[in-house]
Structure 1
Amino acid sequence: MTDTTAYAPTDRTVPTRSRDRASYDRATVHAILDEGYVCHLGFVRDGAPVVLPTLYGRIGERLYVHGSTGSRPLRSAGRAEEGLPVCVTVTHVDGLVLARSAFHHSLNYRSVVIHGLARQVTDEAEKRAALDALVEQVVAGRAADSRPADAKELAATAVIALDLTEVSAKSRTGGPNDEPADLALPYWSGVVPLTYGRGAPIPSTDLDPAVPLPAYLAAGATER
């Protein structure tokens, strides 16, 4: 029976080093993706690698990335019959790991890598749903509390879709891995935790004072 709780490992998703840090658990992958704001979209253009930072959104087992209709990768995804080969990554840095030796300095992190063929979204209903997902990725509850794209804006926006099929997560936790011979060295070692949070909302200068702060922002600063 197929394991629906995990993605199947492939040659591209099995790391060559630190394999114990890899995970194919579906819930773990989704949680890392849903916590992020920016992904890095990698592809090959004119024989050379290109990596672009961009917003994304997830709906079920599909990731959506948007851009201008003039964007080369999005145009390429529309022309390619089988789709555009891409690699998408999302990473969170949770801590700075300081060891007694320079060699063993590291980071505590959580990351996801997705390989696959991206296709351009041409169905209007799917495109609108994808754009809502992108807005929701920034702030949950915002899509229903903003004007949706009109016909002109929709025509000027391209969206590509990437199925979550060839996927892996990787993470590191814990303290430094100092060599036994270094434990007596007089250097501080440990972890400097990193947190990322939202500050108090700052209204735009042209906002009507009668417009209240939305309930989804009224809770104040929160970590994410």
Structure 2
Amino acid sequence: MDAPTERTRVKRLNKRARYDEETVHGILDAMPICTVGYVFGGAPYATPTLQWREGGHVYWHGSSASRMLEACEEAQVCLTVSIIDGFVMARSAFNHSCNYRSVMVFGTARKVSDPAEKEARLRAFTEGLWPGRWDMLRQMTAQELKATTVLSLSLDEASAKVRSGPPGDDEEDYALPVWAGVIPVRQQVLSPVDDPRLMPGLTPPEHIRRFKIG
């Protein structure tokens, strides 16, 4: 990652800014859900989708007929990821906040055109979430691969913003008889539910039982 640019430099509450790879990569790796902002037909759109990171690039995929993917290819986009860790309850409404981790990435989205590379990226996506699953699945057909588009975005222009800890009240407000603190928030993965058409005797493999995000 490069030094912050005018687009990535955090201006509001810049003490929460992080520009280091460890923080940016960690947030992207912890939350597969992202939002991609782009322009289509002269109007702004923001589409939620799944993302994954490999090295200094972030990827997302979808149908080759997707309007979003078509609009993003070779175009300027903004990809964001957010994780909420808690609601911060202060002694005044003004000082309420959230504990969170977020990332913004700017740049030109590139299409992964080589079929072998595209399949490798999709394998990495699957294996990153559920190690060992790709090899147990039916092989992807040439038509399925053709029907899937994978886009790539460099992390050269990215920044993170993080808040943690208790509320920051005005000094005189600490004497008020008002409860203050943090309501922690976490995303919970529940036990897997069998497909009703599952073959008899099959149980969730280890990569399903141990799956977690956050």
Task: Provide the alpha-carbon RMSD of the alignment.
Answer: 1.8
What is the aligned partner in structure 2 of residue 215 from structure 1?
A: 206
CA contact (8 A) 1:7 1:25 kept: no
Cα deviation, 1:112-134, whole Å, max 9, x if unaligned, reads 11000001111101111221233
- Rate the CA distance shift 1:200–1:150 in 2: closer, same or farther, 3 A: same
Q: Indicate which of 91, 113, 132 corresponds to 1:122.
A: 113
Gaps of 5+ in 1: 1-5
Comparing 130-139 and 8-17, the one that deviates more: 130-139
Amino acid at match of 2:11: T
Task: Determine helix, strand or coil for the equivalent of 2:117.
Answer: helix
Q: Indicate which of 71, 76, 88 corresponds to 1:85.
A: 76
Q: Indicate which of 164, 181, 184 corresponds to 2:175.
A: 184
What is the aligned partner in structure 2 of residue 147 from structure 1?
A: 138
Gaps of 5+ in 2: none
- CA distance in 1 between counterparts of 2:153 and 2:139 reads 23
Q: How many residues align?
A: 214
- Rate the CA distance shift 1:148–1:56 in 2: closer, same or farther, 3 A: farther
- CA distance in 1 between counterparts of 2:165 and 2:204 reads 39
Q: 1:206, CA displacement in angstroms? A: 1.1
Mapping 1:22-61, distance limit 5 Å: 22-61=17-56
- Rate the CA distance shift 1:102–1:56 in 2: closer, same or farther, 3 A: same
CA contact (8 A) 2:31 2:213 kept: no
What is the aligned partner in structure 2 of residue 99 from structure 1?
A: 90
Amino acid at match of 2:88: V
CA contact (8 A) 1:37 1:137 kept: no
* Deviation beyond 4 Å, 4+ runs, structure 1: none
- CA distance in 2 between counterparts of 1:222 and 1:54 reads 18
- CA distance in 2 between counterparts of 1:100 and 1:59 reads 43
What is the aligned partner in structure 1 of residue 149 from structure 2?
A: 158
Amino acid at match of 1:99: A
